Structure 1
Amino acid sequence: MKHFSELSPAAERVVDAAESLLQLQGYNGFSYDDVAQLIGIKKPSVHHHFATKADLAAMVVQRYTHRFREELLRIEGAHARARDRLAAYAELFDRTFARERRLCVCGMLGAEAHDLPQGVRDEVARFFDVNLRWLSDSFALGRREGGLGPRAEPEALARAYLCALEGAMVVGRGLADDQRPTAVGTAMLDLCWH
């Protein structure tokens, strides 16, 4: 599989369209016809860039993970304190959800994991691993700063926080309301911070 940085502008448009469709409809909810219609090309043109739907989805997730990593580095550069970093992390979910109640690409794909090709599952797992490691480090920083008790488990808090934010998006979509994931993130941080 190519690296996302090697994509031509035309292939990038295909990946953009697929990302949007994945966020709104999931892996099993879109086809190459949908991608072609969304960007105004013919279906064989989509196949020219990505031989299989699995290749296309894996590319979407690879690029999504890279962009998320860039955001995590930006957050670290902008915020020294753990709680501020974690609040800024929740804002990433707000930005996604604010666009037509879209879900995180990997949250959506995680729900479909049992139906995904192995290569896509591997990319999704890598996304979650990157996020959980970063969140664990952030909660560990919070413990060192004295914001969390000494018995606070950074890994458990990281998983709970990520689940809360992903879940806030799903519940928000299900309720058809506009409550931002940051509201859930703030409530969770209020519960564990002193």
Structure 2
Amino acid sequence: MKHFSELSPTAERVVDVAESLLQLQGYNGFSYDDVAQQVGIKKPSVHHHFPTKGDLAAMVVQRYTHRFREELLRIDGRHAHARERLAAYAELFDRTFARERRLCVCGMLGAEAHDLPETVRDEVTRFFDINLRWLRDSFDLGRREGALNPQAQPEALARAYLCALEGAMVVGRGLADGQGPTAVGMAMLDLCWR
């Protein structure tokens, strides 16, 4: 598989459209015809760039993970304290959700994991591993700062926080109310912070 940085401008537009479709409709909810129509090319051209739907979805996740990792580095560079980092992390989910009630690409694909090609599942797992490691380190920082409840376990909190934010997107879409993931994340932090 190519690296996303090697994509031609047309292939990048294909990935952009596929990312949007994945966030709104899921892996099984779109076709190459949908992508071709939105990009303004013929279906064989989509196949030229990405022979299979799995190849396309894996590229979407690879690029999405890279962008998310860059955001995590920015958060680390801008915020010294754990609670500020975790609040900024929740805002990443709000920004995605604010665009047409889109879901996290990997949250959406995680829900369809049983239908995904192995290469896509591997990329989704990589995304979650990176995020859980960063969250664990952030909660551990909170513990070292003396701000976290002493009985709280960073590993368990990392998983719970990620699940809360991913779930907030799904529930927020279902309720169609104005509450986004940040409100849910802050409520969770209030429970485990001193």
TM-score of the aligned structures, taking structure 2 as reference length: 0.99
2:71 maps to 71
Q: Give the aligned residue type for 2:112.
A: E
Partner secondary structure for residue 151 of structure 1: coil
Q: Distance in 2 between matches of 1:68 and 1:156?
A: 21
Q: Give the aligned residue type for 1:116.
A: L
Q: Counterparts of 1:23-172 in structure 2 under 5 Å? A: 23-172=23-172
Q: Deviation string for 1:128-170 (max 9, x for gaps)? A: 0000000000000000000113332101000000000000000
Q: Counterparts of 1:1-12 in structure 2 under 5 Å? A: 1-12=1-12
Percent identity over the alignment? Answer: 88
2:162 is the counterpart of 1:180 = no
Deviation at 1:84?
Answer: 0.0
**Structure 1 alignment gaps of length 5 or more:** none
Deviation at 1:25?
Answer: 0.2
Q: Distance in 1 between matches of 2:124 and 2:170?
A: 17
**Structure 2 alignment gaps of length 5 or more:** none
Aligned length: 194
RMSD: 0.6
Deviation at 1:178?
Answer: 2.3
Partner secondary structure for residue 172 of structure 1: helix
Q: Distance in 2 between matches of 1:45 and 1:117?
A: 22
Q: Deviation string for 1:68-116 (max 9, x for gaps)? A: 0000000000000000000000000000000000000000000000111
1:13 maps to 13
